[in-house]
Chains A and B, each alone.
Chain A
Amino acid sequence: MKKIEAIIRKTKFDEVKEALHEAGIEFFSFWDVRGIGQTREGRVYRGVAYDTSTIERTILSIIVRDKNVEKTVLAIMTAARTGEIGDGKVFVSKIDESYRIRTGEFGDESLFIKGKEI
């Protein structure tokens, strides 16, 4: 099992969501975050230039079985890319244990619905 975390542009969220659905990934969490980075949004207020230096992005957090890691990462990389600075990053890390609260299933079994996916 792996955790895939992706920081993406807010505007790319819908495209990434659809790409993940097409890749068969139907469960994930996301939230909006603010951060600091290399993207600059130069602003001028009443003739004084300033920089908000606050960048708004969306983070996705997806736990997948090992066999799904590659296509998940690929779906995000393709759908979230514009080629400009500020497209974001994807992190993959190990997950030790996982349980489904309703049934008590654990490990890989807790990550998919039997009969619907193999």
Chain B
Amino acid sequence: MEDALTLTTLAESAAEMARSIDTIWVLVTAALVFFMQAGFALVEAGFTRSKNTVNILYKNLMDFSVGSIVFWILGFGLMFGSDIAGFIGSPNFFFKNGWEGGIPAEAFLIFQTVFAATAATIVSGAMAERTEFKSYLIFSLVISAVIYPVSGHWIWGGGWLSQLATPFHDFAGSTVVHMVGGVIALTGTLALGPRIGKYSGKKVNAIPGHNMVLGALGVFILWLGWFGFNPGSQLAASGAANSIAISHIFVTTNLAAAAGALAGVIVSWLKWGKPSLSLALNGALAGLVGITAGCAVVTATGALIIGLISGVVLVYSVTFFDNVLHIDDPVGAVSVHGVCGALGTIMVGLFSESTGLFYGHGTAQLLSQLIGVVAVAAWAGLTGFILFKILKATVGLRVPKRIEEEGLDIYEHGESAYN
């Protein structure tokens, strides 16, 4: 204690303390978001058949590993590098130029890395049980390196959607992360076609998942991870404003998830006479995806309603894709992440306390939300379509019939999950 305490040194140490608190907050929530990978792995493994379990776990491990590396090499720069024409960030290879902000550059990098990997991992569930492993590695790389960062730049990196007169609002990534993942998943399932035996003529056959315990545990883990995903996106915890904000986001996130699960139960119960567990689990995820965009700007009641709407829409969406369009999505990723991601983003324009239509602020925000959703869906859809077309024509997208029938575990990987 040689230096005398002055107002200046006190202010400096308070600022340093605040920076440390913010950094710890971002790192802890990044770890929670990382854990969502475990949730996705369990949900996808549980909702598919035991002969493909090694394959699905493998894909979840690989998309995170591949994604982490390519996002560091290329993706981060395209997303957060200095803006080029509102469309793309300038490359920042190997994170050489760092990043400037309220927290250390690498804390921000790791937080954004786990988000990028979440977008990539969504795709594996929809395309489960029939996708060529080599192809999966390639498209997972392209998603994390290019597709996700570019649309992410539009919204979070200073691109054109954030420059609108009423900026597009997606707080934690209903559109940036989930809808992008969901739309790419949709183009992927379209390119692949349904699993063998899923549809015979007009008849829809059930292919029950092999382990609801894994599925349920996975959803609990995802729910936990979301307490990192949404409150962590505040990127700060120090001071009154931040601590009030992250506490509020915890509440809105939780209420929406609970309402989504409840909606899933009620709708499936009314529709089929029995409460379906797997749809209630999807309902919770739908609520979480739905609230992600608006978690910081809606009231607790608003969050509850967003969750309920997401859960109801989810059940009808799953049934619609399956029964009407015959699009085979074993885990419901297109409905959960694509449909409810878009829906949640649009609902910000209605339920936002500061800009929403229901609070008397007119349609400006709603319009921005619609523009953003349509633009990002078009980007993800188009790039996904091209990507899968190229893969189909080159390395091949789908495993041979015999391998699909016998299971990918033995024929693609030479090992089985249960021995």
Contacts and interface: CB of A to CB of B under 8 A. Distances in A.
Which bucket holds chain B's interface residue count? 10 to 19
B219 to A, nearest CB: 14
Contacts of A44: 206, 272, 274, 276
Contacts of B97: none
Contact of A49 (B272, B279, B318, B322): B272
B278 interface: yes
Nearest to B274: A44
A47 interface: yes
B205 A47 contact: no
Contacts of B332: 46
A50 B200 CA distance: 14
B205 A46 contact: no
A48 interface: yes
Interface residues of A: mostly helix, strand, loop or mixed?
A: strand
Contacts of A50: 205-206, 208
Contacts of A45: 206-209, 276, 278
Interface string A1-45: 000000000000000000000000000000000000000000111
A50 B272 CA distance: 12
B319 interface: yes
B258 interface: no
Interface string B194-214: 000000000011111100000
A86 to B, nearest CB: 20
A104 to B, nearest CB: 44
A46 to B, nearest CB: 5
Interface of A: 43-50
Instruction: Give me the 3 closest cross-chain CB pairs, A-B, nearest first.
Output: A50-B206, A48-B206, A45-B206
